[in-house]
Amino acid sequence: MRVAVELVEALINSEAYPLEEKLREARRFVARHELGPSTRAIVEAAERRNIPAFRVGPDSLVQLGYGTHHRFIQAAMCDRTSAVGVEIAGDKELTKRMLEQVSIPVPRGVVVETEEEALAALRSVGAPVVVKPPDGRQGLGVSLNLSTPEEVLLAFRIAREYSRHVLVEELFEGRNYRVLVVGGEMVAASERTPCGVTGDGARRHHAAGLGLRLV
């Protein structure tokens, strides 16, 4: 509203107005504060059923309904999500071990604590590898497609900024999807695409984060 008023006043006074700059600021604000695809899918489903939904606090905690029937959701979790399940999912190595126990293929990997162990893991697993915190989230501290000792050492130091332990595992190439399942039925999916910049060889560009495309 403020930008709209400023724009109208600039037009009335025949003054220049940095509209594109203001729009870029608005887009950055929306990108920082909009709901993620899973939360958004649940909120939209609630709205279709005339269930009130509103944000609680600055993050992605959302209340559905009122009174004794209200529920809370955050991302793909609700107030009845198992705390044990969350702890398991937050530990990549433990999750892999449990999946492997029921014959689901998982990438080979080693949890290490020192640079020497990281280099030994590279030799054991074989290039290319991924280096990442075993308990991280949102891609923080993750380095992909590493083949040389120098790359692995640099990635190890980056991952150590987020966790005392570091996971070195084989790289699986493919497309990255997140799927939301409610009541045994898939209700939403998003494809996570790495950010990319096409430059002109002269000007500096900057990009960060992951692109999400609802599929």
For 89-138, what is each residue's pLDDT tens digit? 888 889 999 999 999 999 999 999 999 999 999 999 999 999 999 987 77
29 burial (CB, 10 Å; 0-12 / 13-18 / 19+) is: exposed
pLDDT at 176 over 90: no
Coil, strand or helix: which one is 154?
A: helix
Q: What are phi and psi of 78, to 5 degrees?
A: -125, 180
Task: Give every CB contact of residue 176 below 8 A, 6+ residues apart in sequence.
Answer: 191, 192, 193
Where residue 214 falls among pLDDT bands split at 50, 70, 90?
Answer: very low
Radius of gyration over alpha carbons of the chain, in Å? 22
Where residue 30 falls among pLDDT bands split at 50, 70, 90?
Answer: confident
pLDDT at 156 over 80: yes
Q: What are phi and psi of 136, to 5 degrees?
A: -85, 180
Distance CA 110, CA 165 (A): 10
**What number of residues does the chain have?**
215
* Element of type H or E holding 42: helix 37-48
Integer CA distances (angstroms), 119 to 110, 127, 163, 202, in order = 11, 11, 18, 37
151 compared with 202, residue with greater pLDDT: 151
Task: Give every CB contact of residue 153 below 8 A, 6+ residues apart in sequence.
Answer: 115, 118, 119
Which stretches of 21-74 are assigned E, i.e. beta strand?
Answer: 53-55, 61-64, 71-74
Distance CA 43, CA 66 (A): 15
CA atoms within 13 A on the CB side of 200: 3
- In the numeric block, the tokens 């009174």 are attached to 67
Provide the β-strand partners of residue 174. none
Distance CA 24, CA 4 (A): 14
